[in-house]
Amino acid sequence: MYEQVNPKLDLLTYRAGIVETLLRDMAFSISQTLEKPDENNVHDLRRLCLRLRHAVRLFGPLLPPRQARKVQRRLQVLQDLLGEVRACDVALATIQQPEVASASSKLETKKVAAALAAERRRGLRPLRARLRKLQHSDAIGRWRARLVAG
């Protein structure tokens, strides 16, 4: 993932490379998820969001503190929204595992799956709105300017 970052660089430049890579992948993942908010795309975007939050925290002392805090807050909101949808996807997959599915009747499992699907649809609405907002406001571009150039 970060193969293109040169290890001989000083840490300040190196961390810029890491954050830049994550931001680039995230911009792509946001458009993918908006286009098709399926299980895989939501999962990928959530993983990137977690990674970016972690990178901003780890390299926090090397970043402009106010800007880093701002980005952290935005990422936290996005991660919560992604988490709600992801929880439904995980639950849908888990109840279909043979060890779990065999414990209840097919009809019961179907009912639970329907409830989870409805919950997912509910969670997807605010997530899409947030992603659209991030895309239209060029949030990733601004974060790049704050974190990478900063």
Partner 1 sequence: MRFRPKRPARENATRLLPRLAAKFFRAGDASVEDDLHSEEVHDFRIRAKRFRYVLEYFRPCYGKALDAYLEAVRGLQAALGDLNDCHSTRVLLQHLLHTGNPPTRNQKLLGALDRRENDLFEKYRAYWHETLESPEYREKFMRYLTHPPRQPPKKAVHAAKSEAAA
Q: Which of 7, 106, 136, 149 touches partner 1 (CB under 8 A)? A: 7
- Decide if residue 103 touches partner 1 (CB under 8 A): yes
Q: How far is the CB of 11 from partner 1 (least distance, A)?
A: 5
Which residue in the block uniquely carries the two structure tokens 């935005």?
A: 74
Q: What CA–CA distance (Å, rounded) separates 56 from 147?
A: 8
Contact indicator for 82, 49 with CB cutoff of 8 Å: yes
- Decide if residue 39 touches partner 1 (CB under 8 A): no
Applying CB under 8 A, the span of 26-34, 38-46, 88-96, 136-144 interacting with partner 1 comes to 88-96
Give the closest residue to 146 by CA, choosing from 87, 46, 59: 59
- Decide if residue 94 touches partner 1 (CB under 8 A): yes
Q: Which of 31, 40, 76, 104 touches partner 1 (CB under 8 A)? A: 104
| Burial zone of 41 (CB within 10 Å; 0-12 exposed, 13-18 middle, 19+ buried) | middle
Please identify, using beta-carbon distances, which residue of 35 and 99 lies nearer to partner 1: 99
Please identify, using beta-carbon distances, which residue of 86 and 144 lies nearer to partner 1: 86
- Decide if residue 18 touches partner 1 (CB under 8 A): yes
- Decide if residue 113 touches partner 1 (CB under 8 A): no
